[in-house]
A and B are shown apart, each in its own frame.
Chain A
Amino acid sequence: MRRRVARAFARHERLRLGLELSAPIAWLVVIYIGSLVALLVTAFYRLKTDPTGLITTIDSTLHLDNIRRLWDESVYRTTALRTLESAGIVTVVDAAVALPLAFYMAKVASRPARRALVVAVTMPLWAGYLVKGYAWRALLDPSGGALHEIFGHTPGFGFASTTIVLSYQWFPYMVIPLYAGLDRLPDSLLEASTDLGAKAGRTFRSVVLPQLRPAIVAGSIFTFSLTLGDFYMNRIVGGTNEFIGNVVYREFSVNLPFAAAYSLVPVAIMVVYLLVARATGALEEL
């Protein structure tokens, strides 16, 4: 009997593979995709108040009410655009700061310096996200914060501060892919470019950037999606500033179907983002 089973496994590679992968696949389907499907379906439910007006329940027939409300009430559009704007700024700022740093790490620094820099860049990840948030609050606080005490000026609590702090929070997620991408880029390509007469700027534009595009896309997927989904930095340094996440958090206990519908917005934005990234061919080279 045991031999027959063993033989069946040896013969049917797919059967064996299926069994080996069943646990991770189950995890992926049930927990990961399942929760997303639940979110998607819930977005089309709505609240139903009984005739007395006292008891509110969820009506689980499918309606487009939430989507319509998202579209019609401009506050939700403004909040989504504000979130998008912050995600865009965070991504551009991180890429602009990370590129020269990653280049220095991968192509200029000596080996020990390189190792030290990799540690230094990833070190903020060892500290908790909230700890870093509150540290920034202590810096930015307009009443007695460090920046105010030293320079007499601080952006205060609001959109600017949230965007600054998120740029800081997600910076390692941009540096590391860029560093890895530049590390893979053979030195000889840079040498060939200068050998053919190109100065540094030209080499950067014509050789480094095109080769680094997949790494930039990878880093931007992190910085962009993490910003889109963030809500807690607004509560620490954002003052009255709100992102999509803050609205979802608030609506969650009040109107669950609407919260679900609104949280589909960043998902939809990321899907579009990934589709565009794929169209440029950057994803295949990751």
Chain B
Amino acid sequence: MQTDLESGTAPPARAMSAISVRSVTKRFGAVTAVNDVSLDVMAGEFFALLGPSGSGKTTMLRMIAGFELPTSGTILLDGADVTKRPPFERDVNTVFQDYALFPHMTVAKNIEYGLRVKKVAKAERARRVTEALATVRLAEYGDRRPHQLSGGQRQRVALARALVNRPRVLLLDEPLGALDLKLREEMQVELKTIQREVGITFLFVTHDQSEALSMSDRIAVFNGGRIEQVATPGELYEQPATEFVAGFVGTSNLLRGDDAANLLGERATFAIRPERMRLLRPDDVAAPDEIAVDAVIGGVQYLGHATRVRLTTASGAALAVDLPNDGRGHAARSGAPGTSVRIAFGRDHALRLADPNAAHPTVSSPSGREP
């Protein structure tokens, strides 16, 4: 059922899958956290599980780590069934959301812990700890205690503590969630760099769509315990498969029912990105391949790189149009609230979305945040 949503990329061959999730369901009492999810992550991939809180992405990660047992289904790591294996018998390591550094150990002892437990020889341990500290650029910090470090440094220690074991797969549970914006952006670049250096498969859980888009090779979008779409960042943004994805990844204008039928000639749900729409000046006419519609400006929002104009069409559909602040003054000419304008968009930019009821009979109607 998921395969038809996996756009573009061919379904990865079994032999290449670092992680293979087969029809996994997890229930907590009456709550179904993960509902019949299947997923393949290829070796060396930077793969994101993206979704709002409560969508099941963290539960999925915890089942792969071994902290939760699936109610049904199978999890394979490198082709071996690990579904019932405890965490200490899986070749995966986790970077926790709160880092989970041992407060009574120095940074070096924290990093050494996994090697010590596995009875790696002392000289080898020392060498690998030094190497791991260098990888995360904390060479001078081995003797510090975790509480003497900043959030970003702790995050890097957690990363080093996991990577030093050279796992087949590294699991990261919202690893940047506790950092402030500037540091988060730096760490995004750094994580990506480190992943390329070590060549380990990264499975990354996040609720931040821009983080997922900027770092991942592929993204699985979770909603209500199911996967809505698995795709590369570009595909996800350019060709969202469902209303939920169109609303969760970036912002979308949704046209449905009569609006869709009148404007686009088909009674279905369509998504159009706000930056793909333009305001027509009074002396302007829509191009032949464009669709034009009259609307009244409801409000203007300054976003920095763009100005978002919120409009309502005669039929009552709410739309948003982003005018780039590119110095050519489009935005300044948008007009005051109450002004009647005409907007236009290319026919190709209206993306037909899958009917949610047909695709996911049990998914409750996606919220599809109104633009």
**Residues in A lying within 8 Å of B, measured CB to CB:** 186, 188-189, 191-199, 202, 206-207, 210-211
Contact = CB atoms under 8 A, between A and B. Distances in A.
Interface residues of B, number: 24
Contacts of A186: 98, 100
Contacts of B88: 194-199
Given A194-B86, A195-B94, 14 more contacts: A188-B98, A189-B100, A191-B65, A191-B67, A191-B100, A193-B102, A194-B66, A195-B88, A195-B162, A196-B165, A197-B114, A198-B117, A206-B113, A207-B102
Given A192-B102, A210-B104, A211-B104, A197 B96 contact: no
Contacts of B118: 197
Given A186-B100, A188-B96, A207-B102, A193 B86 contact: no
A191 B117 contact: no
Looking at chain A's contact residues, the main secondary structure is helix
Given A196-B161, A197-B117, A197-B165, A191 B104 contact: no
A93 B226 CA distance: 51
A192 B165 CA distance: 13
Contacts of A210: 104
B93 interface: yes
B117 A196 contact: yes
Contacts of A199: 88
B113 A191 contact: no
20 contacts: A186-B98, A186-B100, A188-B97, A191-B94, A191-B96, A192-B101, A192-B161, A194-B66, A194-B86, A195-B67, A196-B113, A197-B88, A197-B117, A197-B118, A197-B165, A198-B113, A198-B117, A202-B117, A206-B102, A210-B104
**Interchain residue pairs A-B with the least CB separation, the first 7:** A196-B114, A188-B100, A192-B100, A197-B117, A194-B87, A210-B104, A198-B117
Contacts of A189: 100, 102
Nearest to A202: B117
B265 interface: no
Interface of B: 65-67, 86-88, 92-94, 96-98, 100-104, 113-114, 117-118, 161-162, 165
A188 B102 CA distance: 10
A210 B113 CA distance: 14
Contacts of A202: 117
A196 B94 CA distance: 8
B103 A211 contact: yes
A189 B165 CA distance: 17
B174 to A, nearest CB: 12
Contact of A195 (B87, B97, B98): B87
B272 to A, nearest CB: 42
A195 B161 CA distance: 11
A186 B66 CA distance: 18
Contacts of A188: 96-98, 100
Contacts of B92: 195
Contacts of A193: 102, 113
Nearest to A210: B104
Contacts of B165: 196-197
B104 A192 contact: no
A191 B100 CA distance: 8
B98 to A, nearest CB: 6
Contacts of B66: 194-195
A210 B105 CA distance: 10
Contacts of A195: 65-67, 87-88, 92-94, 162
A196 B113 CA distance: 7
A163 to B, nearest CB: 33
B86 to A, nearest CB: 7
A211 B105 CA distance: 10
Most buried by B among A193, A196, A198, A207: A196
A198 B103 CA distance: 17
A104 B100 CA distance: 21
Most buried by A among B94, B97, B165: B94
Contacts of B161: 192, 196
A189 B66 CA distance: 15
A202 B100 CA distance: 17
Contacts of A194: 66, 86-88
Contacts of B102: 189, 192-193, 206-207
A71 to B, nearest CB: 41
A17 B297 CA distance: 61
Contacts of B87: 191, 194-195
A202 B117 CA distance: 8
A261 B87 CA distance: 59
Nearest to B116: A206
